[in-house]
Structures are given as structure tokens and as C-alpha cells.
DNA sequence: TTGCATTTCAAACACTTGTATGAAACTATC
DNA sequence: GATAGTTTCATACAAGTGTTTGAAATGCAA
């Protein structure tokens, strides 16, 4: 197996290039040029371009998932097997937001790569994301333990909306900055996490009574 | 200008193919085959592949934006120049959700195309989306009129989260269905709109007092 | 009909892409 | 130090891409 030098040179060059320029216009030739290795090395070490991308994404997303589950476990243990709903949401969106937002995203290629992976949608990554359901189910289970009374569907919608806010903030961070003319501070990661968690909790807590048809005002029937 | 038959045949064939199979693996040759026209016709009538995609997307998104603004205007007129915040959110997310969700998404190629455009991210479409800021500013202005007291940043976050929930629901409808094992009814479009609007309103109404640092529980300093 | 502009067509062009090949260089074991 | 296995290398391959070309067909006005 020798030194693995070539292999890791490809991985880091690829991650950096994909992070900077997106999956769309980075070719294997770009990667091997940046890594100073031979073109054939990619297929030798990874089998194919898609498997290279998959390995990059799997590595990073496993790390995020591990971090999420650690936070969840800590919160559940602190609460005697039952975590507060806010702590659950915090464990869900915190690691992702911390990884992809804030000043880190200028420095960490890993974070910038994950942003790319969330903006562009390329087949090998999509395949992996589809297998993420099992991971999310663990959070659904924790929510069920935390809020035994709530309707199942409400829990899933809460989970879904929390992820929506987190991911959309990552995806559209530039547009939000431009739209708000800098008023929304995208560098205050902790503040953003607080905001997302707060809204998620409210969505779950507030929708309780009017769960079925939460209409606030009469609306025209159109 | 003759009959324009070729031109519109290309447009509708392209929209259908992109909707069904995504931008990634539909070539011009696929499109002209489906449209029964010559390969060169695309470049003759549209200039390039990207301009074809852009025209498709612009047409559909102009229609959605028009619908949004109509609803907004109606709501403001009904309220004497000041719409309720829930009506504003409804005007913002309603047209998109109605267009892309529900049974229509099996029938309407337009809706399926817009879903694709929101899932895959292809350069010509991204360029257009970036110009959408002006449109969103009109909603920010309406929100300002509706809630004169609120901090500007809060309004933008509210707008942002509302769009987050709507778009994420469209993007991840399949995953949400699978995750919730069918408990979340993605065909009840009106119910989904109500849900998104309710949460958006709550996010804006609830965050008022603790706007700056909405922490619900003590969190470890990590 | 004649002439002119628009539109269609088949074919080729130019280029990029990921992948395969087979020889060469290297490394470690005996 | 010979040998077997691993890794690197230059190069070629095959396929697919959007685009261009120049001629043929078509439509329309005078």
C-alpha cells in the first residue's frame, strides 16, 4: 500500500477544487494537475470519478453525523434519557451550521466543499444523501421521547422545517446577505443556530392546539 | 417569423425532458429527437443550449412572480395599504407551493420542471435566480409596512425562513414522505401552505421580545 | 414567375470528457 | 540481488458534447 501519498494528494486537491469551482467545471485533469499526479492515478486509486466524489462526501458527512449524534446522546444523558426538544434541534442543526457558516467557510476547504455539495446536486452525492434517512430517524425517535404527546406527523414536520432553515441558510447565505444589505449577520453562527432552534421549537410548541388547520385569518377560498 | 412551430416544439419537448430526467442527462439531441426537429434548430432559434434553458426558466418564474405580486397587492388593498403578515407570507409561498406540489406535479410538466430547477442547480438558472433579489425586496417592503415596529433584520430572517420551508419542502418531498412513512401528506397543498405560513408568522411574532438572543435554555459554551 | 429572406436540414467540426492500456519505475521480500 | 507485487506514467481510446457550416427547401412579396 506504500505511502498513500498519491491517494491523499488527489483527495485534498479534489476537495479544494470542487469547493472553489464547483463540481460542474472541475475535470479529472484539473485535479491531477493540482495534485501533481498522473491522470490514471484517479482510476487506479478510486475506481472512477464518481467514487472519488462519493468518498469525499461520505468522509465529511460521516463526521457531521457523528458530531450530531454525540450532541444528541449528551443531551439525552443529561436529561435522564429524555432531551429537551430545543437540545435535540440544536444537536441536529448545530454541527452543520457551525461547519458550513461563519469565518470557517473562508478557511476550511471541508466546509466550503460541503456547501458546494449542498448547492450543486451531483449524482454520486444524491445517492448518498438518500441513505441519510436512517440517520434522521434517530432524531425523530428522540423527538418522540421528548414530546410523547405530539402527533407523529407534527414531529416530522418540525424536523423537516428545522433542516429546511439550516440548509437554506447555508445555500442562500450570499443572497440573504445581499437582500438584507448586510443586516443579517451570517458570521454570527451561534446567533443563527439560536434563531433556527427557537423557530423550530416554536413551530412544534405553537402548532399544538391548531395542529390540523392552523389558519390565522380567514383566507379567500382561491 | 413563420409559424414558430419548430420553436415551440423545442420548448415543450425540452421542458418535458428536463422535468422527467433532469438537466444532467438530457442532451440537445434528445430534445430535437423528441421535438422532431433538426439539431441545428436549437442554435438557430435560441442561440445556445443555455439560452434555451434560461428561456424556459424565465417564462415559468415570471409567471410565479406575477402571481405572487397579484396576491400581495390584493391583500394590501383589502387591508387598506397594509396587509396582514400572514397574508404576505401566503402570497410569498402559496403560488410556488401550489405550482410545485400536490397532484399537479404528476400532471403539469411546468411544475415538474420547476421542481427540477430547484433541485439541480445549473449555471443559466443560477444566474437568473441571482436577479430575483429585487422581487423579494417588494415582499420585504410589504412586511415593513405590516410590522413597522420590528427590526429590519428580523423581517429578513422571517422572509428567509418562509422561503426556506417552502423550497425545502419542494426539494425534499420524496425524502420527507419516506422518512415519515407517508404520515406527512404532501398532496394536501393547502395544509402545507397553512403550516408554512403559521410557522413563519410565529417565528416573526414570537421572536420579538428575545430578538437579539433567543436562547431557550442554557447551553454549554462549546 | 422571379427574387429575396427565412427556415430547415444533413453532415461535420472541434473539443472535452472519463476510462483503459501496457510498459516502466519502484518497493519489499526472500 | 533476483523476483513478485504494487504503483506510476505517457499515451491512446471511444464516446458524447454543443456548435457551425453551407446547401437545400420553403414562404412571401413584387
DSSP string of A16-59? HHHHHHTTTT--HHHHHHHHT--THHHHHHHSSHHHHHHHHHHH
Q: How high is the pLDDT of residue A106? A: 62
* Chain B CB contacts of A198 below 8 Å: 203, 206-207, 210, 214-216
Mean pLDDT of the A84-95 span: 96
Q: What's the rounded Cα separation, in Å, for the pair B113 and B19?
A: 4
Question: A184 and B87: CB-CB below 8 Å?
Answer: no
The superfamily in CATH containing domain A53-206 is: Tetracycline Repressor, domain 2 (1.10.357.10)
Cβ contact A156:A61 at 8 Å = no
Q: How high is the pLDDT of residue B3? A: 63
CATH class of the domain defined by B67-206: mainly alpha
A40 in contact with nucleic chain D (CB within 7 A): yes
Q: What's the rounded Cα separation, in Å, for the pair A48 and B220?
A: 43
Q: Name the average pLDDT for chain A.
A: 89
Asked whether residue A220 carries a pLDDT value surpassing 90, the answer given is no
Q: What is the CA A172 to C1' C16 distance in angstroms?
A: 31
Per residue in B138-148, is it b (16+ CB within 10 Å) or e — as a string? ebbebbeebbe
Name the nucleotide nearest A10; use CA and C1'.
Answer: D8
Q: Please indicate if any CB of chain A lies within 8 Å of the CB of B21.
A: no
Residue nearest to nucleotide D19 (CA to C1'): B43
pLDDT digits (tens, 9 = 90+) for B72-95: 999 999 999 899 999 999 999 999
The superfamily in CATH containing domain B1-47 is: Homeodomain-like (1.10.10.60)
* Chain B CB contacts of A167 below 8 Å: 164, 168
Asked whether residue A214 carries a pLDDT value surpassing 80, the answer given is no
Q: How high is the pLDDT of residue B101? A: 85
Q: What is the CA A10 to C1' C15 distance in angstroms?
A: 25
Which of A120, A123, A180 lies closest to B153 in CB terms? A180
Question: B86 and A217: CB-CB below 8 Å?
Answer: yes
Q: What's the rounded Cα separation, in Å, for the pair B136 and B139?
A: 5
Q: What is the CA A12 to C1' D3 distance in angstroms?
A: 35
User: Which residues neighbour A28 within 8 Å (Cβ) at sequence distance 6 or greater?
Assistant: A39, A42, A49
Q: How high is the pLDDT of residue A105? A: 64
Cβ contact A168:B207 at 8 Å = no
A28 in contact with nucleic chain D (CB within 7 A): no
Q: Among B9, B15, B209, which residue's Cα sits nearest to residue B108?
A: B15
Tell which phi-psi region holds residue B81, choosing left (phi > 0), alpha (psi between -120 and 50) or beta. Answer: left
Asked whether residue A194 carries a pLDDT value surpassing 80, the answer given is yes
Question: B202 and A203: CB-CB below 8 Å?
Answer: yes
Backbone phi and psi for residue B95, each to the nearest 5 degrees, phi listed first? -55, -45
H or E element, residue A206: helix A189-206
Question: A86 and B217: CB-CB below 8 Å?
Answer: yes
Name the nucleotide nearest A39; use CA and C1'.
Answer: D9
End-to-end CA distance of chain B: 66
Q: Please indicate if any CB of chain A lies within 8 Å of the CB of B215.
A: yes
Name the nucleotide nearest A5; use CA and C1'.
Answer: D7
Best B127, B178, B201, B217 member to test A by mutation, with max A CBs in 10 Å, is: B217
Q: What is the CA B51 to C1' D20 distance in angstroms?
A: 17
Which of A87, A165, A194 lies closest to B213 in CB terms? A194
Q: How high is the pLDDT of residue A64? A: 93
Cβ contact A93:A167 at 8 Å = no
Best A194, A204, A213 member to test B by mutation, with max B CBs in 10 Å, is: A194
Question: Radius of gyration of chain B from Cα atoms?
Answer: 20
**Stronger pLDDT, A14 or B211, i.e. the higher one:** A14
pLDDT grade for A222, boundaries at 50, 70 and 90? very low
B44 in contact with nucleic chain C (CB within 7 A): yes
* Chain A CB contacts of B188 below 8 Å: none
Strand, helix or coil for residue B31:
helix
Q: In this structure, what C-alpha cell is assigned to residue A33? A: 494537475
Question: B168 and A163: CB-CB below 8 Å?
Answer: yes
Q: What is the CA B4 to C1' D27 distance in angstroms?
A: 13
CA B159, B164, A191, B198 torsion-angle sign: positive
pLDDT digits (tens, 9 = 90+) for A135-186: 999 999 999 999 998 999 999 999 999 999 999 999 999 899 999 999 999 9
Low-confidence ranges of chain B (pLDDT < 70): 1-3, 104-107, 207-222
Domain boundaries, chain A: 1-47, 53-206
Q: What is the CA B4 to C1' D28 distance in angstroms?
A: 16
Amino acid at each position: 500500500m506504500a505511502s498513500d501519498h498519491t491517494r491523499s494528494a488527489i483527495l485534498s486537491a479534489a476537495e479544494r477544487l470542487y469547493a472553489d469551482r464547483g463540481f460542474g467545471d472541475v475535470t479529472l485533469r484539473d485535479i491531477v494537475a493540482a495534485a501533481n499526479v498522473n491522470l490514471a492515478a484517479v482510476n487506479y486509486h478510486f475506481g472512477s470519478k464518481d467514487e472519488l466524489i462519493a468518498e469525499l462526501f461520505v468522509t465529511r458527512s460521516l463526521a457531521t453525523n457523528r458530531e450530531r449524534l454525540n450532541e444528541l446522546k449528551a443531551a439525552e444523558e443529561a436529561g435522564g434519557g429524555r432531551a429537551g426538544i430545543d437540545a435535540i434541534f440544536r444537536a441536529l442543526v448545530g454541527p452543520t451550521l457551525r461547519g458550513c457558516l461563519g469565518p470557517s467557510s473562508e478557511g476550511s476547504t471541508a466546509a466550503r466543499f460541503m456547501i458546494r455539495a449542498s448547492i450543486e446536486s451531483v449524482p454520486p452525492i444524491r445517492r448518498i444523501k438518500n441513505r441519510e434517512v436512517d440517520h434522521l430517524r434517530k432524531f425523530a425517535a428522540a423527538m418522540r421521547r421528548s414530546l410523547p404527546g405530539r402527533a407523529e406527523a407534527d414531529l416530522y414536520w418540525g424536523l423537516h422545517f428545522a433542516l429546511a432553515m439550516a440548509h437554506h441558510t447555508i445555500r442562500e447565505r450570499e443572497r440573504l446577505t445581499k437582500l438584507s444589505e448586510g443586516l443579517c449577520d451570517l458570521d454570527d453562527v451561534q446567533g443563527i443556530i439560536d434563531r433556527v432552534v427557537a423557530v423550530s421549537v416554536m413551530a412544534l410548541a405553537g402548532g399544538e392546539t391548531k395542529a390540523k388547520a392552523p389558519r390565522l385569518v380567514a383566507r379567500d377560498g382561491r
